[in-house]
Amino acid sequence: MERMTSPKNIPSPAVSASAANDAKTTTAPKSRTAEARSAARRPAQVMPATEGWDQAKNPEGRPLLQFKSPRVSQPPVHLADMTLPEREARFKEMGLPAFRAKQLSVHYFQHYTTDPERMSDLPKDRRTEITETMFPKLLTEIKRLTTDNGDTVKFLWRLFDGSLVESVLMRYPGRITLCVSSQCGCGMNCPFCATGQAGLTRNMSTAEILDQIVQANRVIAEGGLGNLRRDGGHDADRVTNIVFMGMGEPLANYKRVMNAVHRMVAEAPEGLGMSARGITVSTVGLAPAIRKLAEEGVAITFALSLHAPDDELRDELIPVNDKWKVDEVLDAAYNYYKVTGRRVSIEYALIKDMNDHPWRAEMLAKKLNARGRGWVHVNPIPLNPTPGSIWTSSEPAVMAEFINTLIDLGVPTTLRDTRGKEIDGACGQLAAAE
């Protein structure tokens, strides 16, 4: 699959002027004006452009945004799509007492099994019927790639309609993070992200989102994730953290994603009994949905993929900026903090000569500080390559300057650890090809 993107190096007029001037220096060295000299010191401005693939455009020639999924069909209803009372009602229809719904939920959410052979507490003559009704097969594992001495595992799943999605499981000391997908493909069309290049196929169902976690928990229980610590430190034995940073734009699939979040935090056996603060929803910046998220009453972590503090660049880097501008999404992010008390994360992929200029770090700090102090932290990440791409990550010294500028201006900033590059499992690399 073609996933190449590249920047078109458009020198700013000032830079071209100085280049022209340089060319002239051999014949007329004294012709350099003060203005041209200062222009020569101005850093290059690379603008986003696509190469090797065609970015879908709308009739106005702007990058196409897809909010509605072209494919509306959803997988058959699964136990994880339902609340516990809904499961009980379903069991009643099947002529089974309510407590059976709880037993089945324990098997799925606590033992990670859908195998009737392992359900000796259920009536023998109905086990197969119950599991076939409540556990239609949602995710079929197609491929598993491992790196970091087994501590990072990428799964490729085939869904009931042939759609492919990926999730990435990562063991860290004391915690295990799963990066989940929320849509098949993505409609947000960001030129530096591999997922967007094929567009959106459909929204994933609540149970398809949750089943990624249950399947990961099963793999962990079977010993399929990395080596345990030998220093006596605590090891997590199931997924403790979720990041909605796999394929898709979670806030464009709002209802199903939120149902999944509610089930992640629901006590077992209704759900997975996870801690809300360990769950991060990351978005390109759908402002109305961010405002709605603040009212959900679950204290999850909210992350905004900002990548540029100025609309001029962000319009090109994050096409949804056509609809909701930098200031509006920052206001929505700040409101999330005000309502929930949860500190917001700003994601910023550092791209060489595109968004890594010190003046952009200053502008970002200014915009964040204007809204308050202590409400936000910035998480820069070196841009991950997509195959064939000539967009490049910023130089280490430039990254350091960017980060230090933010810190000096009072904005907590930490470079994000990135995992899974070797298996195309890092941020922006998920494209789900066989």
Q: Is 395 a catalytic residue?
A: no
Q: Which is nearer to ligand SAH, 84 or 264 (CB)?
A: 264
Q: How far is the CB of 159 from ligand SAH (least distance, A)?
A: 18
Residue 283 in tokens = 């978005």
**Residue closest to ligand SAH, measured at CB:** 428
Q: Judged by CB, which is closer to ligand SAH: 193, or 365? A: 193
Burial of 20 (0-12, 13-18, 19+ CB in 10 A): exposed
**What sign for the dihedral angle of Cα 124, 130, 136, 141?**
negative
Q: Is 427 a catalytic residue?
A: yes
How distant is the alpha carbon of residue 132 from its chain centre?
32
> What is the sign, positive or negative, of the torsion defined by CA atoms of 387, 427, 69, 159?
positive
Cα-atom radius of gyration of the chain, to the nearest Å?
A: 24
Q: What are the φ and ψ backbone dihedral angles of 138, each rounded to 5 degrees?
A: -105, -50
Task: Tell me how many degrees the CA angle 195-250-89 measures, rounded to the nearest 5.
Answer: 130
Closer Cβ to ligand SAH, 169 or 427, answer by number: 427
| Site residues, ligand SAH (CB under 6 A) | 188, 192-193, 245, 249, 282-284, 305, 347, 349, 381, 383-384, 386, 427-428
Nearest residue to 12 via CA among 33, 38, 31:
38
3-state secondary structure 135-164: CCCCCEEEEEEEEHHHCEEEEEEECCCCCE
Residue 385 C-beta: closest distance to ligand SAH, Å: 7
Report the residue number, 205 or 394, with the smaller CB distance to ligand SAH.
Answer: 394
CA distance 189 to 191: 6
Tokens at 152, concatenated: 């990072």
3-class state of residue 270 by DSSP: coil
Shortest Å distance, C-beta 215 to ligand SAH: 20
The secondary structure element, H or E, covering residue 120 is none
Q: What backbone phi and psi angles, to 5 degrees, belong to 381? A: -140, 135
CB nearer ligand SAH, residue 212 or residue 305: 305
Residues 6+ apart with CB under 8 A from 59: none
Cross-strand bridge partners of residue 143: 156
CA-CA distance, 262 to 241, in Å (whole number)? 14
Residue whose token pair is 């929803």: 281
Task: Identify whether the C-beta of residue 217 lies closer than 8 Å to the C-beta of residue 239.
Answer: yes
Q: Which is nearer to ligand SAH, 130 or 304 (CB)?
A: 304
Residue from 132, 328, 427, 434 carrying the catalytic annotation: 427
Question: Cβ 309 to ligand SAH, closest distance in Å?
Answer: 15
One of 88, 166, 208, 249 is an active-site residue; which one? Answer: 166
Shortest Cβ 232–ligand SAH spacing (Å): 34
Give the DSSP H or E segment for 206.
Answer: helix 206-221
- Least CB distance from residue 358 to ligand SAH, whole Å? 21
Q: How far is the CB of 382 from ligand SAH (least distance, A)?
A: 7
Choice between 88 and 353, CB closer to ligand SAH: 353
Residues forming the active site: 166, 427
